[in-house]
Amino acid sequence: MQASATGGAGAISPKVEISDVSLRYFGREGEIEALRGVSLTIAPGEFVAIIGQSGCGKSTLLSLISGILKPTSGTILLDGRPVTGPNRKVGYMLQQDYLFEWRTILENAVLGAEIQGANMTKARERARMLLTRYGLGQFLHYLPRQLSGGMRQRVALARTLCTDPDIVLLDEPFAALDSQTRIALADEVAEILRREGKTAILVTHDIGEAISMAERIIVLSRRPGQVKSNHPIRFATPDSRRPTPFTARNAPEFNKYFNTLWQELEVHVEG
């Protein structure tokens, strides 16, 4: 298992290239080293999961890729260009849906486009199309509080994809949902992102979610987060197509990967 996390796509130039990135937070309690010497590359259209224990720097890594944070040292390239700040190519979906309760579903879905100063007629059209595709066509003029948790996360997904980003960052997007909804929505989201050819980076502490959704899993060590290992996830299917996340959970490979990753994460109950 190599520690430099490089995608399988040899000659193709990477979508995301993170080189020797470190990040220190300077706060009231002093200095916190969140990430140390992280290097990884992600190919266009790849679906990668980053797993690691709570506090190991997963969200920090996504904030760096999105340009919200700047690395203390090291570089991040998107399509070969350095990240200098927030970028239209990048969409961000969070654990909390952060829907505005006073805005309708449709108006929530166009929020990102509005912030980017995009053409709002087009944005509304696209949001309506996405929401309809995600089964929310009947609810365009509802308020968020009238929707279930799973539906709200679909609105958040529509908002993320409304600006048509190439790279989608998902920060524990299902963590607040009950387990059935979580698995069903993971299936939908994985399928949508694959169909649209997005490059996706899913951060989670849920090993099963990572195995069932991603083509490759990168394990971060405890803080300061460093790349500990890099696991391509493959399933033997008759037609060599990737199983849906739900089907993947029942595949024989699933338990094998689960056991390996469980050991790597050094999961134990804090006393």
Interface contacts to ligand ADP, rule CB under 6 A: 25, 27, 32, 34, 52, 54-60, 223
The dihedral sign for the CA sequence 103, 194, 86, 230: positive
In the bound state with ligand ADP, the residue whose beta carbon lies nearer, of 59 and 230, is 59
In the bound state with ligand ADP, the residue whose beta carbon lies nearer, of 8 and 86, is 86
Alpha carbon separation from 77 to 3, 70, 80, 114, 229 (Å, rounded):
19, 12, 5, 26, 21
Chosen from Mg ion, ligand ADP, none, partner binding at 54 (C-beta under 5 to 8 Å by type): ligand ADP
- Residue 108 engages Mg ion in binding (rule: CB under 5 A): no
In the bound state with ligand ADP, the residue whose beta carbon lies nearer, of 133 and 222, is 222
Distance of closest approach, residue 16 Cβ to ligand ADP, in angstroms: 17
Chosen from ligand ADP, Mg ion, none, partner binding at 57 (C-beta under 5 to 8 Å by type): ligand ADP
In the bound state with Mg ion, the residue whose beta carbon lies nearer, of 223 and 242, is 223
The answer to whether 93 and 165 are in contact (CB under 8 A) is no
In the bound state with Mg ion, the residue whose beta carbon lies nearer, of 71 and 225, is 225
Q: Which of 99, 71, 74 is nearest to 85 (CA)?
A: 71
Token digits for 200? Answer: 């996706």
The answer to whether 162 and 112 are in contact (CB under 8 A) is yes
Beta bridge partners of 167: 90, 199
Rounded CA separation 172/91 (Å): 14
Among 59, 66, 104, 212, binds Mg ion (CB under 5 A): 59
Chosen from ligand ADP, Mg ion, none, partner binding at 118 (C-beta under 5 to 8 Å by type): none
List contacts with Mg ion (CB under 5 A): 59
